[in-house]
A = this chain, B = another copy of it.
Amino acid sequence: MATGRTHRPATRSRGIPEATVARLPLYLRALTALSERSVPTVSSEELAAAAGVNSAKLRKDFSYLGSYGTRGVGYDVEYLVYQISRELGLTQDWPVVIVGIGNLGAALANYGGFASRGFRVAALIDADPAMAGKPVAGIPVQHTDELEKIIDENGVSIGVIATPAGAAQQVCDRLVAAGVTSILNFAPTVLTVPDGVDVRKVDLSIELQILAFHEQRKAGEEAEAQAGAAASAAQENNGKGPDGDVPAVMPA
């Protein structure tokens, strides 16, 4: 996840597998929905379906947290919500700063999902002096000069970077120097951070490119199937693919 370290077991000895941690928020969301509908208990099968995973995987995931289920019955929804929340650290308050209040930064500031689970937007920061003081999502934007002071005074340990790519590393360095140890990066750049700092990146462009790859593959297979064994030179063009560019069948 983070950039500059291939070392470290990634999965701590005593701890929970990384893959499991990544799924806990999914379970938590499904459980919260059940809780709101006042459902008292849920089986691994039902919950797995709601979370979109395999039931065996879910049970194994929960087994890392302890034995919170009752055989023959299932899991107590409320209890499980609490346990997962505690495990994820959502029982405490996490002040967060968002740096770079452009289109995306503003959208993030307005995003309700932040506040819902213990995350609190402590400050919005932008390098543009014209933005300073202007309220976004009810919070006045502050200038980058204040960054260190804000981090320090609010005890911020999680930073969100929504700046242009060019500014991201510099902002990252300042955040880390000021004491931030977890960074969520929306800028399309690879961030280099010292050991002990976690970086997660969200990259729209990359996600789209991955989809495009699969889309192309699907179109290729389809064309292959359509053409059958007939090595026709005539290019077929179905209604969906806007381009007759059938990819070669992997050149050697």
Contacts and interface: CB of A to CB of B under 8 A. Distances in A.
A130 interface: no
Given A21-B214, A86-B245, A91-B245, 7 more contacts: A86-B247, A89-B217, A92-B216, A157-B240, A182-B214, A184-B208, A200-B211
Oligomeric state, in copies: 2
B95 A242 contact: yes
Contacts of A158: 208, 211-212, 215
The DSSP consensus for interface residues of chain A is: mixed
Contact of A25 (B88, B119, B205): B205
Given A107-B106, A215-B89, A179 B25 contact: no
A90 to B, nearest CB: 6
A50 interface: yes
Interface of A: 3-4, 6, 12, 14-15, 21-22, 24-26, 28-30, 50-52, 54, 66, 86-96, 102-104, 106-108, 110-111, 113-114, 116-119, 152, 154-155, 157-158, 179, 181-184, 188, 190, 192, 196, 198, 200, 202-218, 239-243, 245, 247, 249-252
